[in-house]
Structures are given as C-alpha cells and as structure tokens.
Amino acid sequence: MKGSRTAPLGKVDDQYLDHTRYDAKAAPNAGRKSDPGGPEYKAFDLVDVRSPAERAIGVIPGSRILDQETYEELLQADPDAPIVFTCHFGERSRAAAEHFRQRGFTNLYNVRDGIDGWSRTVDPGVPRY
C-alpha cells in the first residue's frame, strides 16, 4: 500500500491500495489478495460497506459486501488479519473500520477517498457516481 497517513481513529489507516500489488483475478476467494511469497504481499479481506444498489454501479474487483454473513465471518476471523474497508468516499468505511477496531481488531485499513478515489487514481474503468 502506498500514500498512507494516520487516520484520527487510532490504528485505522486511510490508504490507497497499491494496484500493482493487488491481484483480484488470481485471488481464490472474494476479497482476498493472492500471495506470491513476497514479504509485503499479504492476503487481506477487501470489504465494501456500500449498499447493493451502489455496488450495482461499480465495484473494486475482489471486494465483498459487508452484509450480515460477511460481518459474522469477520467477527470470527483472526483479529490481527488485515481487513481493508471501502465505501463511496471513505467515510462509512472509516466508521466500519472503527467498529472493528473497538472489537479488538488491530490490522485495519480504509481506502482513502473510497471507490471514487480508486476510480480517479487506480482504475478509471470503475464507474464514478
């Protein structure tokens, strides 16, 4: 990941995902990053907190929606495993990351500027709205 800055939520960092390290096509599961063995190339969950209607407009490949099923799965996951949250502009995803931080999760990230920022800086093929 690049362009990190500390968010005012403690351990939640607002960051852009480094698209050169993100390989949704090679990922065996939704929201996971493939791991070619490099020390900086770790698997993570990419969780989209937007509504199904918003996701119908455009998604970051490999992300999964934060529905009840995903929420329950995440609560059962390793609290040190990296989780990256995204939404439209980054505010709802920051709130979701904070929600998980308060439940003891330690390796949380927010896609700064959300899918809108992703569309502008990483993948212009993802529609803006």
Which one of 46, 87, 108, 122 is the catalytic residue?
87
Q: Which residues contact 2 (CB under 8 A, 6 or more apart)?
A: 15, 16, 18
- Determine the Cα–Cα distance for residues 113 and 115; give it in Å rounded to an integer: 7
pTM > 0.75:
no
Check if 87 is active-site. Answer: yes
What CA–CA distance (Å, rounded) separates 61 from 66?
Answer: 15
**Tens digit of pLDDT at every position of the chain (129 positions):** 333 333 333 445 555 444 434 444 333 333 434 444 444 445 789 999 999 999 999 999 889 999 999 999 999 999 999 999 999 999 999 999 999 999 999 889 898 889 999 999 888 999 999
Topology adopted by domain 2-121: Oxidized Rhodanese; domain 1 (3.40.250)
